[in-house]
Structure formats: C-alpha cells, structure tokens
Structure 1
Amino acid sequence: MVDGAAYGQSAAPASPTQGQLPPDQTPPSDQAPPPRTRAPRPALAHRRHVQPARVRRGSAVPVSGGTISAIDVRGNERIETSTILSYLLVQQGDAFNQDELDRSLKTLYATGLFRDVSLTRNGSTLIVKVRENPIVNRIAFEGNHAAKDDDIRKVITLRPRAVYTPELAARDRQKILDLYAGKGRYAVTVTPQIIRLSHNRVEVVFQISEGTLTLIQKISFVGNKAFSEARLSQVVTSKETAWYRFFSSSDEYNPDRIQYDRELLRRFYLRNGYVDFDVSDATAELSPDRKGFYITFTITEGPRYRIGKLEVKSTLRHVPGDSLRPSVQSLKHHWYDGDEVQRIADGIQDELQAHGSPFAVVRPEIARNTDNHTVDLLFDVSEGPRVYVERLDITGNTITQDHVVRRQFDFAEGDPFTPTQQRRSKQSLEDLGYFSTVNVETSPGSAPDKVNVNAALAEKPTGELTLGGGYSTDAGILGNAGLRQKNLVGSGIDASLQGTIAQYENQVDFSLTDPYFLGRNLVAGIDLFSIQTDNLNISDYYETRLGGTARVGYAYNRYLSQSWNYSLIDRHVSNINTAASLYIQDESGHSLLSQVGTTLAYDRRDSRLQPHKGYIVRIGGDVAGLGGNEKYIRGKLDASYYIPLDILTGNHDWTIALVAGTGYIADYSGGRQDIVDNFYLGGDNLRGFLDGGVGPHSVPTNQYPASDALGGRFIYTQSTTLNFPLPLGPDLGLSGRTFVDMGGLAGLRTIRTYTAAENQPFAGDNLTPRVSAGVGVSWKSPFGLINVDIGIPVVKQKYDQTQVFRFGFGSNF
C-alpha cells in the first residue's frame, strides 16, 4: 500500500536577504515576464503547513476527584511500559487532576513516538491507550540527478530505524527543496511517499521531479546615469543566461551572489568618486512558470567628488605629520577612489609598524563639500591600543605540522598584536593552498592588554595527479603527466615528478622545494632533469641535457629578494644535419657546464600572477667555470612596469605593460664558447619572428645550404603591450592585447671563426633594431589556457626568419 502525501507543490525561491525581496517595479517591457510572482521570504519558501496530530481525550477522563489506584498502558508494542509511565505527570496513588492529565497527554505527544494517545478512566484505574508511530525501514530517492543520494541524506533528518512522523517528512521535504534551490532549481517538486510494511514499519520514498534550471533571464538597473547598463553588467558576477555560458554557473540565481553584487557595485562607484552611492534595493522576481528570474538593482548614484584638501595629522612621537605628506600627494585633485585611499593608508601603517611604531594606526577620514563636490581627506595617524599576544592556538591541522602553520604568522607569543598582522597571517595561510577553510580569530587574554589568537583550519588534499596535452609553436604537439605533493607528510615541502613528450622536446623533471629551509627565511630546493630537444628546424642539431640544479633564495623584506643556484649539466649535441653549417658541426659531442648564478629582484607589483600596477626590476649574473669546460660570465637585467588605465576607462581590465631587458656574455680562459649558451632573439621575446630568427645566422652556401641560428653575446629587448577586455570576455575567460615588440642581437660567439676563404660566411651580426606589431587573445578555457598571437614584422633584415602566427594550448585534467 502506498500513501501519497499531498506535498507536490513546486518549490518557490529562497528569498534574498534584506534588499533582495521582490520589487514593486516591473521588468522592462521588451522582456516583461508574465504576471509577477513575488519571491516569498526564506522562512516561508516551499512551506506547506502540516497539521499536528489531533489530541483526542476519552470522554471518561474525569474532572478532578478520586485517587489513581492503577495505571493500565495498552497498545504499545516496541516501547516499554515503564518508558511510557515515565512521561506521565501522574503516578499511582496521585489524585485524578484534570490539569495534570492534560499536561501528561501533551507530553506523550511531544515525544514524537505516538500518532495517537488517549487517556480514559475506568473506576479508579487510569487507562492509557497509545498507537505508536512507525519505524523507518529504508529511505529512498527517485528522480534525482542534479543532487546525489548521499548529498540529500546529509540534509534530511529521517534515518533508518528512527521514528517516522508526517512532520519530519514535511521538514525533510523542505530541506530537499532548499538543497535544490542552492543549485539553481526552483521548479523542483518533492513528494514524500510512504510504503507501509509489517510490524509497523514504513519505507519513505521521496519522489523528486527536478524540472529545468531556473536561470536569470534579465538583469536591470534603475537610477544609473553615469554608467550604462552594459558597463554595470560587467561589474556584477550574476549574468543573464546565454548559450555560451554552458561552462558557467553565473546565470543561476543565487541570493548570496546578489548580496555580493551589491557590494561590488558599491566598491565600483566608490572607486570612481561617487561617495554618496547607495543600492537602495536589489530584488528578484520569479516568473509564473518558475523558469526564470528577473533581477533589478535600484541605485542612487549621487554626484561625483574630487579630492580637495589633503591633510596628515599625527600624534605619534617622532613621526610628524609633514613627514608623511609625500605619501599622499598622489591623490591630490584626482577623483575620489576609496580603494586607493585605503591602499595608501595601509601602506603608511605597514611602514610605521615595521619601523618602530608597532601599534600605529592610520584612519582615513573624509568630509564632503556638497557645494563644490569635493572631499577633504584627513589621514589620522595615532597609536592604537597596546595589545600583546598571550597564546597562539592552532586547531584542525591533522596533517600539516604545527611549525609549518606557525611560521606563516607575523608574530609569536609575547609580540605586539595588530589587526593588520591578523589579516596578513590569514592571507598567508590561505596562500599555502593546504587548507579548505582558514579562520583566524581572537579572544581576550588573562589581562586587558593580552589577546589569544586562535587559528581554526580544515585540511584539504594537496596531492595532484595531472595528465595533459596540447600544442605549442615551440614544442609542437605535446602530452604531459605529473605527480605532485605540495605538502609532503605535512612538512610544507613541495615535491613533484613531471614528464613531457612533445614533437620537438622530451623532458623529465624531479623537483624538491623546502620554503623554510632549516626553519629559516630560506627557500631551498633541487631539480634533477633530462631534456631532449630537437632543434633541426632552427639550427640543424639535436641536443640532450642531463643534470641538476641546487637553489636557495631568501627575502630581505616584502619587496626585495635574492636567489642563488648552482647547476651541473652534461650537454650532448648530436644528429647534426649534413647540410648544417660548420658552426653547428663544430658543436658535435659532449660539453660539461658547471655554473653558479644569482638574481636580485625588487618587486612592487600588486599581483605576481596578474599584475595591474607597480613594477619589478631584476638583475642577475651567471659564472661558468667552476669545473667543466665552459668558462664565461653572463649578466642580465630586466624590468617591467604596469600602468593601470582605470581612471581613463573605468575598467580594471585595461593595463599597459612596459617590459625591457638586456644581457651580455663574456668569455675568459679559453672556454669552448658553445652556441647553446648564447642569447637568442625571436619567438616569445620578439613576436613576429621565429625562435632564434633574429641575430647572427650562417649564410647558406652550395656546400652548406642551411641557415642556422647561432645566437649572440649581447641582446636587448623592449615590449609595449596594451591589455584590454573583450566583449563577453569576462564570461568566456577571454582577454585581448595589442603589442609592439622591439629588439636586437649581435656578437658572434662560436667555437671557431671561419675566414672568407673557408667559405662559411655569416650575417645578421648587428644591433639594428627589429620591430614587430600585432594583436593577441588569451582564453582561459575549460581545457586549459590558450594563447594566440599574430605578429607582423615591421622592421627586419635579409636573413631574419619570421613567424606571423604563434599558438599555445595546454590542459591538465
């Protein structure tokens, strides 16, 4: 027998938080939905009122009077009589009391064990009749595809061998509806069905009809004047449904995402000078067919403000306000930018805390001048409360060792404590990539000036098994596999084994890195590798490298760092084409490279992965000759500078990148001067030209018809790139760029120099700049990063080798 409970009504959306309730406005007429259905409040969403079991009293239940001589319990099968008696508020020998009997009846119902209870009186005997609720034998789900059985079981209350009640089934139905709402499915229906078995047992089957995804059909903005609806649509993370969003969930309605979008809009307007901006309402309307949402943001922009007066007030001893004024002058007369103001305040505070004022606090304060639409800005520098760390507690690190976590904190027990250090330490723990959640909270210590810091962590898997494939212009068709453990046995050591098989290159690497070698601010590691490279399309030879590198690095401060490395590599040049020049044929055989190198870097970029502003300068050098048969000194210098165009474009995705570099190699004591150690120009460092396509080349002759890239001693490069967003780019992961590259390479460096009589001429040995210009597109696709560049050589010479199209694709899965 199957009892179908009437719980099949459709799910309504869980209502957004404040400011997200359905609006009184209608969507634009061009896409107006059917008559509007207001999204209910979360507490009422999907709810069907379930009537509690009716309290039934026997007519013989007396009014007060008489004494209970006996209590007779009837109808119980599983539940012990003594258990039922323990719930009664009256016992044998007590007087019959109407109030106590009523309360006893309610208490028995409240246990959830019974579907019917009656109390009657037979003379001086109290008769308690019960009908027990059934026991759940099994719980099943039918029709669910978007949510797995295990995921549903985690949210429901009913369990096998537990008591079944209609109320519990109704609550679980609601929880299932909420689970589906979180997955963007509001058209789902859930029907609990009861299959009755023998011995008062039931099976509970939740019949689920998932329906289609409830997607966002339209996003509207009301009150915007300074920015178009299209521009504001780029700011929010919620997106209108479109055919190309099949890999994204941004077009699924999510109340939390709407709330986040409110904050994104506020920050966007504050960055552009709209100090009075406010999102007065953010509403979500569900169409009557429950297949689409209509989102409306109602905003008040207010006037745009420029920065007027700039003041710095300091109450710190030995830190006058005038000494800090140069740090804020860059803001003068610009449009107010809340992010930039906070960044400058944080920068001043960090500098003060690092140089003798650990409790320094910098608070930016603004005063609006509504008459002339300016903002007077005051940086108030003072000393915050003196608080010290009493205890640092760490919980949840079941794999990662304690000392690995502790070294991410800027403080230890007894050190001064500031909220800035707390935020920075939390960010450092998150950047490790070892934990799924990181919470760093404080609690009062044993004294007013002491605080306990509590780090609650949740570990996540840190091992990676990767398989990949793709194509690049340099390596050709490729496949790779790798095994990596970023937190080896909880020690923080990063170990990896990678292998690549490609059309022009095969490589195997083993790498081991300890980010805190010997418990100090040292990054140390080793790399062992075997590389086989097919250079037949560039210089008519095949090269094998087998060796290793030991490296160590350290940071002087947040911006300045230095690294050292020592490499010992056996190189073997073979399979030389018979048409190759004499310069290449001289390279045949083995050479041993023993080299020590160093790089000093000063990095002030806002992000190392996707820099938007700031700069980095690197200077490095290599010395070969500590053993082996290569003897040279090589120096390198490069710099990158990033210019944000937010003020001009109002978009964070516009950036100009200026990159330049130079290098020189000098020989000493009669080293071999192998061309494999030379600088090469073309490809990645000069788009529009083939790898090694610029610089000294052998000139083809009848006897040696190949034109081989020989590299050079001195190189210089410069690249100007404008990065910009593309239409639909944020949704598809697309970004564009246009570039102008320039560079030169000269200084023939070979094992042997041939005379004209030996008929092995060369060309291209000059520093005349080569120039190219072009455009490129990057796509962060679900299959990996795809880069496409089209470079047109603008200035070139006779023997330069060009390459207009450059493509790279790779994927890990």
Structure 2
Amino acid sequence: MAAVTGAREARFEKLHAARLARAARIVASAIALGAGIAAVSVPGKAAAQSYTFNAVSIEGNARIEAGTILSYAGIARGETVTAAELNDAYQNIVATGLFETVEIVPQGGTLTIRVVEFPTISRITFEGNRRIGDEELSAIVQSQARRVFSPATAEADAQRIADAYAQQGRLAATVSPRIIRRGDNRVDLVFEVLEGGATEIERIAFVGNDAYSDSRLRRVLQTKQAGLLRWIIQSDTFIEDRIAFDRQLLQDFYASRGYVDFRITGVNAELAQERDAYFVTFNVEEGQQFRVGDISVTSDLPEVEPDIFRAGLNLREGAVYSPNRIDNQIARLERVAVREGLNFVRIEPRITRNDRDLTLDVEFLLTRGERIFVERIDIEGNTTTLDRVIRRQFNTVEGDPFNPRAIRQAAERIRALGFFSTAEVNAREGSTPQQVVIDVDVEEQPTGSLSLGGSYSTTDGLGASISFSERNFLGRGQRLGFTINTASSSRNYAFNFAEPAFLGRDMTFGIALSYRETEGLNSDYNTARGLFRPYIEFPLSESSRLQLRYELNYSDLTATDDLTDVSEVIKAEAALDERYDSALGYTYSFDSRRIGLNPDAGFLVEFGQDFGGVGGDTQFVKSSLRAVAQRLAFSEEVTLRATFEAGALNYSEGQSRTTDRYLLGPNTMRGFEYGGIGPRDLSNDADDPIGGEYFAVARFEAEFPLGLPEEYGLSAGLFYDVGSVWGLSDETTSTPSADIVGEDFFARHVVGFSVFWDSALGPLRLNFSEALVKEDFDEPLNFNLTLSTQF
C-alpha cells in the first residue's frame, strides 16, 4: 500500500516539477528579453537585472478576479522589480493551489500572466467500497464538492482512506483518485477503492513466559487469532494500534499479580509469504513475583496522628503486591484525611524492595500538598444527557481542594455509565496558578433499544414479543423498560423504572410492575399473577448495599376445564379465592469484587427477607440466602466456583399454594426438570409437582479450557450439585384423598459435564448431567441448553 501511494506521489511531484521547469524557462526568457531592452535604454549591469512594467494583463481566469491574481503576484504597475521578485511572483501564484498551470510572459512594458484554473469539484463519489460506507468515507476526506480541485488534497484523501482500511486490518487496500471532466470547468472526483482481503493474525505466541501459559496470556489480549469464525470475529485482523494496546494489557496483567520486573522486550510481527496473514510473537521477561512486606504509616505533619490512618488500611502482609492495591489504600487514606478535616494532605507511597524474601515494604508518608482548588467543571459534547448526570459522578465540586485521584475516578465513573462513546476528563490551569478547571468532553452514543419478535414452541404455540429499554431516559440517567410477550398459553407484561440518583444522592429508587397469565402451561392449572414493587437501594460501605422494598402481589390459581387428571391438592388450592399479599422486605448484599483487591478470587453474599401482613390476606416470613465464591487456580487456567442457595417460607396466617412454594428449575438444581424434585401429589394419576416451603442447593463446578483456539469461544466444565426441596404446611398435607410424596428432606446428587460457548447469540451453556441419587418419583433431565451467567 505504501509503495502504491509513493508511486502516486512521485507522479504528482514529476508533474509539478515539469510545470515549474516550463515556467522557469519562460521567466528566464522574460528576464533575458527584459535585460536586453534595459541594456539598450539604460546602460549598466545593475539596471539589466531590474525592470518596470507599465501594464499587467491577466489571461485565462474565469472564477478568480484579475485583481486577486495580481495581489497573489505582489507586482504593482510602474513598480521596478528584480528577476528574483518576478520568480517569487510566479511561486506565490502557484502556491495558492488554484491553478493547473501558470505562465508569466513579459511583452515590452506589459507583463502577461496566463493561468489555467483548477476545475471545481461537482461531486465526490466512492467506488468499490463495501466494508466502509460512503458516509464514513465522506467524513474522512477533506476534498469537498463546490470547492476547487487540488491534486495534493486528493492524494492525501486517498491515503486517509487507505489508513482507514488499514485500521480494519486490510493492509493491501489501495485507493486511486480519478477525475471525470464535465462542462464549465467542472469535474467529478472519484475514489476507486480496491479493498483487498483482511490481513489476519494466524498465530499469537509468547517467548519467555513460565508462570502463565500462552493460552492464558492470549485471553488477556484484545487481539485474537483467526479461526473458524473468522468471517464474524473482527479482532483477528492485524492492527498496529491494537498491538500497542495489547502491550499495555500484558503489562497491567503481570503488574497486578506482583511481577514488578516484568517487561516486554519486543513484539515481532512477521508477514506470511502470501501476505495474507501475520504471525505475532511477544518476547517477555516475567521476573519474580513479589508480595507485600512490612506496612507502615508515617507523617511529616505535626497535627496528623499516623495511628488513625493506619487503622484505615485493609492491606495485609503477605498479599500479592499490586499497584491497584496500593492505589486503593491511598484512596482510603485520603478519605480518612477528609473525615478528620485535613485538607491538602498528600499520601506518598515509598516502596522498599527485599530481594532475599521477595517482598516489598510499603510506607505511606503523609506530607503537605499544594494548595490548589477546583475553580469550575466545564462539560461539553452532551447533546442529550443533562449536565447534572455527568456532574454527579464527581465527588468534587467547585471550591473543593483539587485531588487528581478523585478526578480520575470520576472519569472512570463517567465512562462506566455507558452513555458516551468517548469521555475525556482533563485538568488545566484556571484563572490563577492555585486554581484548576476540569474539562469534560463527551460524545453521545445510542442508549436505547427496541425489539420485535415472534416465536413458536410445542408448549406455548405461536407467540409474539415486543420490548423497549432505555438506559438514559430523557437524558436524566434513568432506566426505563417494558416487555410484552404473548403466546397461546401464556401472556406476560412487565414495566420497570429506576432513578439511580434519587434525591441527588447515591440512592436508587425504582418501580417494577408485572402481570402474567398461564393457561395449563406445563401444568394442570391456570395462573394469574400481578406484582407492584417500589424500592430504594443504597450503599452501606464500599462493598455492601441494602435494598428496602414494598411488594403487593396478586395471585389466582384455577383448575383447567378437565378435572379428571388434576391432583387433589391442586383442586383444593384452585377452590380458594384470589389473594393479595402485602409485604415489606429487604436484601443485604456484600460483594468483595467492588473493592477488587484480589483479581484471582471474590465472593458474594446476599440475604433477604419479606414480611407479609402489612395489609393483604396473609401473614408470612420469606427468607432467602445466596452465597457465591470463585477463585482462579492452576495459573488462572481453571476457574473454581461454589454456590449455595436456600429459601424458607413460613405462614402464620393463611396457607401457601403451589404458586407460592419453591419449584426449582434446571438453572438452580441441574439434572432435573422444572419442579422435578420435591413434594408431589400422585392422586388421580396426576403426578403434579406442588413445591416445598424450604429448599437448599449447593453447586460446585470447575471451568477449564478445552485446548482449542481461544477465538472459538469454547471451554468446558465439570459440576456437582446436591440439594433438596421439602416441607409442607398441615393444611396442605391434610388435603382429603391426596397422595403426597417427597415431603421430607432428601438430598439429590448430580454430576455433569458442561460446554460453554461464547456465541454470536450470547454466552450459551450446554449441560450434560446424570443424577447419582434421586427419588423414584423425581423427573431427571440429562441435557439442557441455557444462557450462561457469570459471577
């Protein structure tokens, strides 16, 4: 591509050189002629090098006024000019870029300037481009319709287009500018594009890595190898900027894992002989892994008590050293300083290296920083999003002490909103050296989606769905969505709204509304359920949050028309009236990943309760618990995950129904159908699952690579599940003629194998399972396909 571009530039340079030589010969002839005339009229060598023209004639100009051309030349009538000045006049006219040819011809006392104007561009078109649309290319080129055509600008535009294709990995793309002449000195400018094929990366390899395998490091990179899905995957093309970004990703990966001496000695990108693929090799030096040694806090400020700050640290000796850990501790100490009313305190980490035991001692020194204040925060580029949505991402306001770390964190929060394609936050000096102005430049991107669809299944029949979601409703940062799903045997309507900054605080206020009807959907009864739930959610600490809510539930259970195959429990519950349950509830969650101190491990705990009886027809307590722990092992090749879920439902007034009790599906207890374990009523040969008032499930799994190229998105896992559903109220067990089994606790055990596929439709999971221990009346499920969820 570079060679082709160079050839085009050489042709243009040759053309301009020929024009310049021709003009120089004309000027030389004019100078000689003028010198001869001057020699006759005015003796002397000095007089022979200067001349005077009484008149100047401009020929060939159509669009450009003669006076304008004369002003470019800089020659006035009656003014004595030298040969050098005459040559400068020629160069000035040529430099305007408005003329194809320029001739300066002295004729006695008249100077004749003949020009041929460059044509005007009538229109600009692109041919041969499929990968990049006309609108995108039009934004790249600088040539414009109804402007004067410039060969240099056209050549530069061709190079810009070629560079755009290079950014997509199409290094062989060539672009040739062509002109089609029209009448009235107009031309059509056509860029002929030969896109060529994408130059893919056939192989990514590493040299010098011992702690982590090639496959693990390849998952760190943004660039991927070409594979079977190369026509879909766009990250397998060779792009130099992406390779440079990958270098930083590798550096950050090793640094966050204690390899402080890690460095990349070079990146070799070799082009295949056919010039259709690259082989990229990263040469690295890992060094040794360091851990945190002694931790101390010292102060140069007499009014500061170091012990108060030392208590604010949560860094422990022996932990793997990471710059992120140190940065997190500095942020914690800065918050302690604000809490103690100490402004302009700077925390300076001092690292002492101990090569013998591979530790790094960390000393946090408290010193006096510069007295710099925030003068104002300027926001630009937000055409839809309100200023206050961006401004509330800052913990800093005008007049506060300037904290660069707080500004960087605010920039990260702005980007995390997902409202902007680009978001740049920079600080510059304000009206005085002691003040700074924070500039926020953003570019909006779409934040809403509307989907329409249809479906067909053997259970539901034909169905239609419409859904709408907006993450930045009216530019206020609010979330709004609704869904309508209809089928022959079910109908579902849902609406949700959330304000993430209720009352101007870090508090989410939301409302959820839903209504669902089923008609014999995988059961012998019909249901109708409605929900109204307003809630608020706010943080309690860096890692914990609390949700408070009110729920009003409407439910109605009715038997199908044919009651011959309906169990006695379902008949009894269907005979009950429709019911309203009114409850207050809360959910407390603790997530260690919010701090992110350990990139290799994390855990999540959620506990919630709902207390029914705030009005309504029943009184109950419903409790739920979920705990998840995950750790990367074996050089981060294997992901180990353990999950425990449990629930309890206790009624003190009224009784539970099948629609209230726990019916577990294969996503909660793998290896069984929905409602496949737990209490069942076998009366009337119905075999109806009726659910239990208690459940507990423990899931253990290990996810590991299959040895296939990472770009296929395939990995595997082994899992082991153990759990049970049990417990019924006396009102349910005393139902006349009922034949209830599975009321007592009985642990089921399941083992299985999973295949994870990061497909174009989303992350899919295929589970192959076998129940080792089960009841005779359970309903096993040996295979199911579901969307994969990540902890």
Q: Which has the higher contact order (CA 8 A, sep 6+)?
A: 1
1:214 pairs with 2:199: yes
- Shift of residue 748 of structure 1? 0.9
Aligned pairs for 1:152-551 (under 5 A) are 152-224=137-209, 227-287=212-272, 289-301=274-286, 303-307=287-291, 309-315=293-299, 317-320=304-307, 323=310, 327-331=314-318, 336-340=321-325, 342-343=327-328, 346=331, 361-369=346-354, 372=356, 374-383=358-367, 384-467=369-452, 480-501=465-486, 505-533=490-518, 537=522, 540-551=524-535
Whole-Å separation in 1 of the counterparts to 2:64 and 2:530: 77
Within 1, Cα distance between the matches of 2:309 and 2:540? 28
Alpha-carbon shift at residue 216 of structure 1 (Å) = 2.0
Bigger Cα displacement from structure 2, 426-435 vs 245-254: 426-435
Match of 1:31 in 2: none
User: 1 CA distance for matches of 2:140 and 2:417?
Assistant: 31
Equivalent in the alignment of 1:663: 647
1:598 is matched with 585
Mapped pair 1:786 → 2:764? yes
Instruction: Note the C-alpha offset of 1:391.
Output: 1.4
| Kept after mapping to 1: 8 A contact 2:313/2:333 | no
Between the aligned partners of 1:226 and 1:801, the Cα distance in structure 2 is 46
Number of the residue aligned with 1:582: 568
Task: Give deviations 1:620-667, integer Å, cap 9, x for gaps.
Answer: 22122333322222222332233x22xx4222x643333223332222
CA gap of 1:45–1:602, structure 2 versus 1, over 3 A, is: farther
Aligned counterparts of 1:391 and 1:230: Cα–Cα separation in 2 = 48
CA offset at residue 82 of structure 1?
1.0
Further displaced range: 618-627 or 501-510: 501-510
Q: How far is the alpha carbon of 1:809 from its aligned partner? A: 5.4
Q: What's the secondary structure of 2:659's corresponding residue?
A: helix
Q: Deviations over 1:301-327 (max 9, x none)?
A: 4x4244374232321622239935973
* Structure 1 vs Structure 2 CA RMSD: 3.4
1:18 corresponds in structure 2 to none
Q: Distance in 2 between matches of 1:482 and 1:608?
A: 34
Question: Aligned in 2, Cα 1:222/1:477: closer, same or farther, shift over 3 Å?
Answer: farther
| Residue pair 2:525, 2:558 contacting (<8 A) in 1 also | yes
Q: Which residue of 2 aligns with 1:749?
A: 729
Q: Secondary structure at the match of 2:50?
A: coil
Report the structure, 1 or 2, having the larger helix content: 2
Contact 1:718–1:741 (Cα < 8 Å) also in 2:
yes
- Is the counterpart of residue 721 in structure 1 residue 681 in structure 2? no
Give the conservation status (yes or no) of the 8 Å contact 2:264–2:285.
Answer: yes
Give the match's secondary structure for 2:191. Answer: strand
CA contact (8 A) 1:641 1:658 kept: yes
User: Quick check: 1:807 aligned with 2:785?
Assistant: yes
What SS does structure 2 have at the residue aligned with 1:550? strand
CA change 1:352–1:641 in 2 (3 A) is: farther
Alpha-carbon deviation of 1:506?
Answer: 2.9
Residue from 548, 553, 556 that aligns with 1:569:
553
Which letter maps to 2:382? N
Stretches of structure 2 that go unaligned for 5 or more consecutive residues are: 35-47
Query: What is the identity percentage for the equivalent residue pairs of Structure 1 and Structure 2?
Result: 31
Q: How far did residue 611 of structure 1 move? A: 9.4
Asked whether the equivalents of residues 217 and 294 of structure 1 are also in contact (C-alpha less than 8 Å), the reply is yes
2:45 corresponds to: none
1:742 counterpart SS class: strand
Q: Is residue 689–residue 802 contact of structure 1 (8 Å, CA) maintained in 2?
A: yes
Aligned residue pairs total 758
Question: Which deviations, in whole Å up to 9, do the C-alpha atoms of 1:170-212 show, x marking residues without a partner?
Answer: 2222222112211211222223223233333222222222222
**What is the aligned partner in structure 2 of residue 633 from structure 1?**
621
Specify which of 673, 681, 700 is matched with residue 656 of structure 2. 673
Which 10-residue stretch deviates more, 597-606 or 122-131? Answer: 597-606
| Cα pair 2:756 2:788 within 8 Å, conserved | no
What is the distance in 2 between the residues matched to 1:706 and 1:440? 65
Distance 2:298 2:559 in 1: 72
Q: Who is 2:44 aligned against?
A: none
Q: How far off is 1:130 after superposition?
A: 1.6
Q: 1:569 and 1:239, CA in 2 relative to 1: closer, same or farther beyond 3 A?
A: closer
Establish whether residue 553 from structure 1 lines up as the match of residue 541 from structure 2: no
SS of the equivalent of 1:147 reads: coil
Alpha carbons 2:60, 2:114 under 8 Å: kept: yes
C-alpha separation in 2, matches of 1:258 and 1:725: 24
Secondary structure of 2:52's partner?
Answer: coil
1:685 and 2:668 matched = yes
Distance 2:73 2:475 in 1: 56
Give the whole-Å Cα distance in 2 for the aligned partners of 1:578 and 1:355: 75
Paired residue type of 1:444: E
Query: How far off is 1:258 after superposition?
Result: 0.7
Higher mean C-alpha displacement, 800-809 vs 378-387: 378-387
SS at match of 2:86: helix
Deviations 1:473-528 (A, max 9, x none): 99899764201222222222222111224686431112222222343443222222
Deviations 1:340-359 (A, max 9, x none): 55555555655665665565
Code of the residue aligned with 1:109 in structure 2: it is V
After superposition, what is the alpha-carbon deviation per residue over 1:367-406, rounded to whole angstroms, capped at 9, x for unaligned?
Answer: 4455x47243323242444443221222222222222222
Q: Deviations over 1:217-250 (max 9, x none)?
A: 3434444455554554444332332223322112
Task: Give the secondary-structure state (helix, strand or coil) at the position aligned to 1:777.
Answer: strand
Candidates 51, 60, 64, aligned match of 2:30: 60
AA aligned opposite 2:298: S
Matched residue type, 2:718: T
Distance 2:538 2:459 in 1: 33
What residue identity is the alignment partner of 1:564? Answer: L
Displacement of 1:803: 1.9
Deviation, 1:567, is 2.6
CA distance in 2, matches of 1:225, 1:328: 28
User: Residue 731 of structure 1: SS of its match in structure 2?
Assistant: helix
**Matched ranges for 1:616-631 at <5 A:** 616-631=604-619
Deviation at 1:363, TM superposition (A): 4.8
Q: Distance in 2 between matches of 1:535 and 1:771?
A: 30
* Partner secondary structure for residue 404 of structure 1: helix
Q: Deviations over 1:255-303 (max 9, x none)?
A: 11110121222233334554332222223344454322333333334x4
- Per the alignment, residue 16 of structure 1 pairs with none
* Equivalent-residue separation in structure 2 for 1:89 and 1:224 (angstroms): 68
How many Å separate the matches in 2 of 1:296 and 1:681? Answer: 49
Q: Partners of 1:567 and 1:747 in 2: how far apart?
A: 24
Residue 408 of structure 1: how far off its partner (Å): 2.0
